[in-house]
């Protein structure tokens, strides 16, 4: 099995351009890095195959779609055993309101990022979903008052 080659300077430029605009055509990409479209396509396919590019998606405006309220939630589990972790992870996977879930080190076990219409919707979610998740002992809620920066771009 061959090792994955680290991205070279041209690969990094391709990644940077695609990160800024995932809809950039192969022709425009080729012009920007001064390679043939065939060479750029091969590089892009390799970057995808090797896991540098995970996928492409449109960034949607949550305000326009009735999900304008962002809430972060600290979750403390009642036990930290493999089966409790696995049950919790499986349960959050199927909840569309939970945008992100991260296991963290520190004073709690998971940090969730959720999107709701408003505080009433969050209150309903907390009672009917959040506090019913497997192993949840305690939660702390942080409603976002202002989103100062929101980016998924990695520095390259």
Tens-place pLDDT, residues 87-103 = 999 999 999 999 999 99
Same domain, residue pair 134 and 89: yes
At 62, is the pLDDT very low, low, confident or very high (cuts 50, 70, 90)? very high
Look up the CATH number of the domain holding residue 102: 3.30.70.920
Name residue, tokens 């969730």. Answer: 112
Q: Which two tokens stand for residue 43?
A: 């590089």
Nearest to 51 by CA among 6, 117, 118: 6
Tens-place pLDDT, residues 5-45 = 899 999 999 999 999 999 999 999 999 999 999 999 999 99
Same domain, residue pair 29 and 91: no
Label residues 9-19 b or e (16+ Cβ within 10 Å = b). Answer: eebebbbebbb
Specify the pLDDT at position 155. 93
Q: Considering its fold, how many domains does the chain have in total?
A: 2
Cα separation values, 140 from 62, 67, 97, 109, Å:
23, 20, 17, 12
Specify the pLDDT at position 1. 58
Look up the CATH number of the domain holding residue 29: 1.10.10.10
Same domain, residue pair 134 and 77: yes
Specify the pLDDT at position 5. 87
Q: Please state the rounded mean pLDDT for residues 65-73.
A: 97
User: To the nearest whole number, what is the mean pLDDT of the chain?
Assistant: 95
Same domain, residue pair 36 and 83: no
Q: Please state the rounded mean pLDDT for residues 111-134.
A: 97
Same domain, residue pair 35 and 100: no
Domain that holds residue 36: 9-49
**Is a pLDDT exceeding 80 seen at residue 2?**
no
Specify the pLDDT at position 103. 97
Specify the pLDDT at position 3. 85
Report percent pLDDT > 90 for the chain.
Answer: 95
Cα separation values, 88 from 59, 85, 105, 131, 139, Å:
27, 5, 16, 11, 14
Sign of CA dihedral 132, 135, 139, 141: negative
């Amino acid at each position: 099995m061959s090792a994955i080659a680290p991205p070279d300077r041209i690969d990094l430029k391709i990644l940077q351009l695609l990160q800024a605009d995932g809809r950039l055509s192969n022709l425009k990409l080729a012009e920007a890095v001064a390679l043939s479209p065939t060479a750029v396509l091969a590089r892009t396919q390799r970057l995808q195959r090797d896991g540098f590019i995970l996928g492409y998606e449109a960034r949607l405006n949550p305000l326009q779609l009735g999900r304008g309220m962002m809430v972060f939630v600290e979750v403390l589990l009642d036990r930290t055993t493999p089966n409790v972790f696995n049950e919790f992870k499986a349960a959050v996977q199927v909840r569309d309101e939970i945008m992100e879930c991260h296991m963290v080190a520190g004073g709690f076990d998971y940090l969730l990022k959720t999107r709701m219409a408003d505080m009433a919707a969050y209150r309903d979610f907390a009672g009917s979903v959040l506090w019913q998740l497997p192993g949840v002992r305690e939660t702390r809620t942080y409603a976002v008052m202002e989103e100062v920066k929101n980016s998924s771009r990695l520095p390259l």
